[in-house]
Amino acid sequence: MSQQKKGRLFGLGVGPGDPELVTVKAVNCIEQSDVIAYPTATGTKSNAKASIEPYIKPTHQLLPLTYPVTAGPVADSSAYQPMLTRFYDETAEEIAGLLNKGKNVSIICAGDPFVFGSYMYWHARLSDQFETLVVPGISSVLAAPVQLGMPLCHREDIVSIIPATLSEEELVRQFENCGSAVIMKLGRTFPKVVRALEKAGIIGNAYYVERATMQKERIMPVSEVKPQDVAYFSVIVIPCEKPV
């Protein structure tokens, strides 16, 4: 009796939110998939899933990968990382079971899979066991400056991608030494980032971009943003000097 062929694993970057920015290659992989797995939080709508709604068929099995915790005050707890590790271990085992049954599985990821993308954690657990294809996506690092209408870099500019979860002191150091930059992982970190931008003397050149390319997109100078209104799907862009 022949052994059943394993399914293929697709790690798909599905872009910043606009369904038209999902790549042709990602759509082709979705069409080949039996299962579409998507990260989500309890009680919220998955932005990654919303990006591919036009490409989902009735024959697709949808598998929500629901995080047990999200980035909030609990992220400072010593139990946070073990909880996430257990979540990735358990969901990877579930996905492996589907792949072992011969089902092709797409794990979709907002933005790009390997630029602060959640997919990379499943990739680390599954890619050595199953045939895998990773498809890059348009990251908010690229989408936000375009929506802002200001170039991120030109000529010999150096671009920094800075996580807002760094300490305030380290943020100040990064801001004082960076050229153009994109600051990610906002939310409750926003007041700390604003203080660091002010200390570094560059807050006047910092712009807030929320839900880039989505219907509820918001763009404004960082100095005008109310901390309580900052969304998780947002970045701060420090653009390059105007090209001449």
CATH number reported for the structural domain that contains residue 91 in this entry? 3.40.1010.10
The total number of structural domains that make up the chain: 2
Question: Token digits for 172?
Answer: 């100040």
- Co-location of 111 and 184 in the same domain: no
CA distance linking residue 176 with residue 189, whole number of Å: 19
CA distance linking residue 49 with residue 64, whole number of Å: 9
Tell me what the pLDDT averaged over the chain comes to.
93
State the pTM of this model. 0.91
Domain endpoint, select from 110, 135, 160: 135
CB neighbours of 63 closer than 8 A, spacing ≥ 6?
A: 35, 36, 37, 38, 94, 95, 98, 105
Domain endpoint, select from 101, 118, 135: 135
- Co-location of 33 and 147 in the same domain: no
Would you state the pLDDT for residue 74?
Answer: 58
CA distance linking residue 170 with residue 166, whole number of Å: 6
Domain endpoint, select from 135, 164, 199: 135
Low-confidence ranges of the chain (pLDDT < 70): 1-3, 70-77, 244
Largest CA distance in the chain: 70
CA distance linking residue 16 with residue 195, whole number of Å: 27
Has residue 56 been placed in a domain?
yes
CA distance linking residue 231 with residue 238, whole number of Å: 18
- Co-location of 13 and 125 in the same domain: yes
- Co-location of 24 and 107 in the same domain: yes
CA dihedral 118, 122, 124, 128 (to 10 degrees): -150
Would you state the pLDDT for residue 202?
Answer: 96
CB neighbours of 229 closer than 8 A, spacing ≥ 6?
A: none
Would you state the pLDDT for residue 241?
Answer: 82
- Co-location of 86 and 178 in the same domain: no
Has residue 82 been placed in a domain?
yes
- Co-location of 129 and 25 in the same domain: yes
**Nearest Cα residue to 103 out of 67, 137, 62:** 62
Domain, as residue range, for 153: 140-238
Would you state the pLDDT for residue 237?
Answer: 98
Would you state the pLDDT for residue 114?
Answer: 97
